[in-house]
Structure 1
């Protein structure tokens, strides 16, 4: 069974990529100390963090004298990367102009001027603001967590001759989730010697208390220390926290080395195989007792054991070395993204029969051996993790049973996002890392090497570039694990607040299309001739830290595609594209490769460790550059999730039951309101690798049609259970279904699959119609998959006329979305019709689907033509466009025969339809003008000899409340 390690911190990169919630870590009631008591009685220091616009005023702040306060957040250790400061009610000259922020990890703070403080940031020349109760937000680099913060106003705007004042100060960040102590009291520890007082032995160094470890061997610059084996198992350490003991500062450490070992066990301080992790010289002297220093360093290797050695003391002491507490700061490596059974391709088949490539990811110490790896020639494998796209930041490699010369020495790892990889040497690959592997010191020994990477991939190619020998025989490895987590996901959702750079867009191609989750397009004419255009979006889930962006090309005109994009972030409240908010550059992506194919998605990743509440996406230039405009189908802002806030996470749309033909798979869909990790279940058990927003089952048949499926936001809500049932075409009246594939925009053209089952009255074998007017170009099929035959067994045909093809933008993820995504439209005063010919006599049903073009709000009529004009039947509706339909994805029937009392609908139905000399004809149109295109027909069903409905389904007169997908 594969090793599975749960971790909160997967690496410095992934930790910075996680969803964060930038709010003040200080809360009303937290301990606060003013720089002095020189304040009016009602304007004391508590007002600065009370969450209200009450003010803190301090007279010490006159004439550029410093003033401020200390706060100790009750949350404990926190990481602050920003400040928000609100101006008070009057006297702008008293507002802050220059501010410093310091942090302390002392056990407690007792006075403004006491303690050990470290500068975090100084903010100079804060812009003056005349408006009162106005909040300014400032971000800065900081990766260190603190227990206490000292906020100091160095100067005021005047400078004021009176005082300093502030309404509110927010310390923006969260609970510190950086490297944490990988040791714990009770871990196996070995002293460098037993030369310690009885009550000051080595266990004190790791007991979580300020008791001290003293070793007399550390006198006169001689080394002393300890070995520890964390019970967590293999960890990687990137820092240490050292607390000074109660007395004698000359005994404090001055120079330290830290080493790691992956031996199976270490039995003595001086035994084993050790690798140097870091050497830290000239540690600044501690300025107080029981004071903690944190020291960080680069390290890309994980180990089972650590040797901490003090090579010199501050004195140097002639007595000894002493320390109150040592914490080794790091993390457990992330989990393996591969599983036994994942698709794997060897570099060649040049392996012994029992030592093939599958052994490399089987979770056992069986070995993969490849003879191609002789004499420094490359060999390896390609693997496609079944969990989908992932981000890896480490690799675990276990040596095989014999022949150390065959062990890997140099390894390269590459990633690919091709749809599929057919063989080892094919595909498009991007280098992730190349690393030198230290020689293994034992068999079945593990090494974990970490690396920086923010790119997500579907496939990985692991290449042994050279062996330790180099071997003249081959390359071998017992096990390879690729360590990481799920790919970053979009932090925006349809309906989030979004503001265009201008309103200079066509009516149906506005800015909301850029984040609607559909291939509808956002077009802005401001983007012509290399001028900037774009949008601002505020994700509804709050502050996030993005490390990537996904952009999908629109339906046409590649010269309008983006070439250079700037992404900025802010924590100010925003109400428009350029409303005065303060923006910080996150990244600029230059020379985006041109793509001829339409509806193609490109992803770009970048380093970023700051969280923001809003993002500004600016196209600096287009591919042409276009003389018309800028256009984009979809933009996603990507962030990785390592934790989930269950108070925020929620389903936007639950999965629903699916109907399929016997022997066909079923696809279930779900939507959530953020980039939360998901896990699908079957009959209550997790499905391996099923972690995306869709899940496709195996072929559905009578034996498994009773299986129940559900999906969980990991650690939070579980969806309702759904099932896949089998559709039997022979059990229903025969029907002919037409779906108009459309073109031009919004994801069209979109064809249905022959086995798709969809419609108000379910049927399969829909006929794809590609032209905008004319006749059917292929023989029509009926719902049994047979030629549609009518009068005297003549082929049933259609004749139709419209104002042209277009797209609705309902998507293409399931049969219903595909059925509705394309359309024919009818402009005002146009003569549009669809006519069936050679229809046998009988009492039939005609269903017309009418989901309209986004951002178009039009009335419409659908007229069934009778034998005489007086026999015509007309239904009047208001068109439900795709923006109204997509959040709901349910059918709403239009039934009104009164043009002054229309209902909002997405289909109309005529029962008791009788052919007129073999013809059934309907016409449609609108009287609403002012839009680029007319009203829609997406699809039509003619159901032969179908019983009329006894009760009409309900209709609606306004935008209905979203429920579930259908």
Structure 2
């Protein structure tokens, strides 16, 4: 019997393998877009912002402290150490202050104060911690505001001989220590020790709401019953929702169980209420890093590639699936995605961002298979045979 060369046998087998791969490739259906996210996929709530937690909304801004109207007020939802920075029209020596209680909820009244002065230009911004300037402590102490609503309190006097161009008032505590709201109707600064004479503050003076605390991640999610977390955005139940009190620049990081994929679109489902909380714009990022960011942080621990951005026009109807949003994906395939909503439908009127459902649409990128490896072996062997002119 004639013996064959072993390499010829191997080459012949590789040829059969190559033909099999070609046959399978011709028989395989063309790839098509699928839903990439499934309930239970790893998902994180994030916010690209960091903040002090200061939250003062339209109609309750700090300028209302200067209007002399006890029917208006400033209200900060940030909690303890809320306050303001004000720059009177002229530099002044302040030696007393007078406060007026707001219309409701006595527990929100300030129970203590810190007053600082500076002659630096004010570069701190609204909702910051007000620490950009070099501040000098002028006075501090407890407060005993009246229980009566919309009432003028007794003057608080202190010794001070230094003129300052700007002042920072901080309220470290409220009457109700369990409160996270701080409110006041009006405040006046005086050069006398007993609150007499002309008020050094006038409506129109530059004034900022601040919260004098260290900066923290702005992402704050969920409710006391453990719902409204990021997982509710991918549970395929429009009756639940993801809510983030960080508002602008909030979103998710998700690692689809579908694996490596190419996203070419997404759809959002509106939540049950408050259309002003709906996202109004989007940014989609991808990464192939292992996700090491943790829940309720800024999600910046990975190396992210910006895939695409755009605006959103979600339906006004609640619990409604929005139109498919096309994604121009020149970035390639990724294992994890970060979807951020930079703006809301009405950020000034919203206390949070919310969405009922998020779904990424795209195609899976298959893992290398035995057939593909076989194709590589066959090609290498044929090349070897040509070089060696095997008989």
TM more than 0.5: no
- TM-score, L = length of structure 1: 0.18
- TM-score, L = length of structure 2: 0.43
Q: Which structure is higher in strand share?
A: 1
Q: Which structure is higher in helix share?
A: 2
Q: 1 or 2 for the larger relative contact order (CA 8 Å, sep ≥6)?
A: 2
Larger radius of gyration: 1
